[in-house]
């Protein structure tokens, strides 16, 4: 209990002592004071200051007992006058010190003591006061251009301070107070920055800090906003034909506003899939259709149409794909009856496709296919054929193909084998 009481009394005395400290008294915890060492006179200290540094100069103490100097500092903004050691010199002929990384517009107190050769220290000089310069203001004029395609641009008036090393550009999304450094523009006389890392139809906020060669950072500039240009609207009512021979016609209606349109770009998916689209054509702004020539019948594919504006921005929203297809082959005929006469073979077929306008008959001898030539007989408009070019003892194989008015040919019908005896 007695020990606890002594501790409480000691703490109280310490509090009272700190509250009664004389402003001109240096509160330093020194190793050992040698009162015979010469003390530096405050009148012998001079200084210069900028925004983040204070340079001290003092008169060299002409005493061979002096080994060097200790520099102490107190920051009045911290609410006390406790000094801390910031630099020691072990050479008595040193007479300059630059204290860096200080706060702008802040008063600092310095006290200098001399160091004896045996490690003792003199009484410190009376506190010397110096104040750093006010913070550097940022550029006084800044403007942002808006509605640029895929980019934003900010411009400013170069700062008048000759020590400006670069301009720090910070950006924040609209309605979000989260600033990120995106660039450093070196050179005081530079006066613009273009930001390409932006999205279309988005608003961004910008501000500038000036940074000097010695690392001093200015206050923030005025905040400016810039909105990127929106993408053009997609065409409406895009369609693709499915019944045209050897081609697919893609058609569309223009968007409501066509004043900024440069051209339309047509895309097709790879093969017959709805993926990996690549451009196949460009057509002028006055066009509303495109014909894709394809020689194969029944070929399907997916198509998209995009709008491209005068700044080469391309529409993406609501760009849906549509299925197009060339007209397929006519259906194959069906041989329904075969007859043999004294010197002929005849057969009748049935057309199951109204598109057929004439027919071809294909004939070959039975056996190994590639060893027997196939004859192509036609154009036949009737649905029957009498073959008199036959020999007894031979076996013949017949197929029939239908052809429509576009020249599209069906696949061969099922083979019909006839042995002529």
Q: 242-291: per-residue pLDDT in tens?
A: 999 999 999 999 999 999 999 999 999 999 999 999 999 999 999 999 99
**CA-to-CA separations, 35 to 22, 51, 176, in angstroms, rounded:** 21, 37, 62
The answer as to whether 195 is a domain residue is yes
Instruction: Please tell me whether residues 125 and 31 are part of one structural domain.
Output: yes
- Confirm if 250 and 237 have CB atoms less than 8 A apart: no
Say what the pLDDT of residue 19 is: 36
| DSSP letters for 237-299 | EEEE-SSBTTEEEEEEE--S--TTEEEEEEEE-STTSSSS-EEEEEEETT--EEEEE--STT-
Domain that holds residue 313: 236-325
Instruction: Please tell me whether residues 120 and 62 are part of one structural domain.
Output: yes
Q: Which of 131, 157, 175 is the last residue of a domain?
A: 131
- Confirm if 172 and 203 have CB atoms less than 8 A apart: no
Q: Cα torsion at 182, 187, 188, 191 (round to 10°)?
A: -60
Contacts for 133 with CB less than 8 Å, ≥ 6 apart: 49, 50, 51, 104, 105
**What CA–CA distance (Å, rounded) separates 225 from 172?**
9
As a whole number, the mean pLDDT across the chain is: 89
pLDDT, tens only, 290-317: 999 999 999 999 999 999 999 999 998 6
Instruction: Please tell me whether residues 189 and 280 are part of one structural domain.
Output: no
Instruction: Please tell me whether residues 314 and 343 are part of one structural domain.
Output: no
Assign residue 156 the CATH number of its domain: 2.60.40.10
The answer as to whether 394 is a domain residue is yes
Say what the pLDDT of residue 1 is: 42
The answer as to whether 15 is a domain residue is no
Q: Which of 131, 164, 194 is the last residue of a domain?
A: 131
Q: Which of 203, 227, 251 is the last residue of a domain?
A: 227
Tokens of 178: 């989260």
Instruction: Please tell me whether residues 26 and 71 are part of one structural domain.
Output: yes
Domain count, the chain: 4
Instruction: Please tell me whether residues 127 and 189 are part of one structural domain.
Output: no
Instruction: Please tell me whether residues 120 and 159 are part of one structural domain.
Output: no
Confidence of residue 177 (pLDDT cuts 50, 70, 90): confident
Instruction: Please tell me whether residues 249 and 198 are part of one structural domain.
Output: no
Instruction: Please tell me whether residues 249 and 308 are part of one structural domain.
Output: yes
The answer as to whether 346 is a domain residue is yes
The answer as to whether 10 is a domain residue is no
3-state secondary structure of 7: helix
Say what the pLDDT of residue 275 is: 93
- Check whether 41 has a pLDDT greater than 80: yes
Instruction: Please tell me whether residues 33 and 99 are part of one structural domain.
Output: yes
Taking alpha carbons only, the member of 418, 367, 362 closest to residue 395 is 418
């Amino acid at each position: 209990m007695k020990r606890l009481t002594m501790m409480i009394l000691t703490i109280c005395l310490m509090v009272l002592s700190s509250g009664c400290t004389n402003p001109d008294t240096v509160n330093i915890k020194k190793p050992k004071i040698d009162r015979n060492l010469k003390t530096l006179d405050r009148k012998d200290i001079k200084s210069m200051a900028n925004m983040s540094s204070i340079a001290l100069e003092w008169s060299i103490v002409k005493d061979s007992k002096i080994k060097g100097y200790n520099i102490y500092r107190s920051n009045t903004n911290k609410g006390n006058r406790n000094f801390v050691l910031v630099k020691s010199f072990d050479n008595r002929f040193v007479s300059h010190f630059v204290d860096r990384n200080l706060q702008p517009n802040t008063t600092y107190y310095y006290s200098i003591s001399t160091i004896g050769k045996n490690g003792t220290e003199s009484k410190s000089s009376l506190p010397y006061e110096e104040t750093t310069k006010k913070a550097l203001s940022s550029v006084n004029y800044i403007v942002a251009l808006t509605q640029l395609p895929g980019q934003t641009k900010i411009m400013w008036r170069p700062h008048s301070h000759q020590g400006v090393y670069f301009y720090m550009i910070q950006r924040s999304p609209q309605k979000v107070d989260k600033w990120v450094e995106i660039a450093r523009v070196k050179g005081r006389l530079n006066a613009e920055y273009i930001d390409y890392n932006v999205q279309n139809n988005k608003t961004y906020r910008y501000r500038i800090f000036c940074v000097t060669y010695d690392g001093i950072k200015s206050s923030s500039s005025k905040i400016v906003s810039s909105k990127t240009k929106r993408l053009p609207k997609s065409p409406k009512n895009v369609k693709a034909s499915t019944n045209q021979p050897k081609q697919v016609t893609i058609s569309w209606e223009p968007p409501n506003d066509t004043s900024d349109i440069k051209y339309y770009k047509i895309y097709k998916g790879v093969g017959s899939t709805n993926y990996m689209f690549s451009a196949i054509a460009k057509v002028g702004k006055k066009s509303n259709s495109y014909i894709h020539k394809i020689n194969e019948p029944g070929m399907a594919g997916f198509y998209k149409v995009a709008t491209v504006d005068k700044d080469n921005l391309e529409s993406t929203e609501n760009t849906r794909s549509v299925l197009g297809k060339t007209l397929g082959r006519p259906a194959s005929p069906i041989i329904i009856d075969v007859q043999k006469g004294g010197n002929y073979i005849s057969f009748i077929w049935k057309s199951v496709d109204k598109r057929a306008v004439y027919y071809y008959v294909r004939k070959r001898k039975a056996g190994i296919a590639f060893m027997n030539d196939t004859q192509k007989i036609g154009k036949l408009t009737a649905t029957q054929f009498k073959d008199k070019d036959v020999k007894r003892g031979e076996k013949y194989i017949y197929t029939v193909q239908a052809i429509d008015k576009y020249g599209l040919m069906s696949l061969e019908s099922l083979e019909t084998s006839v042995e002529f005896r």
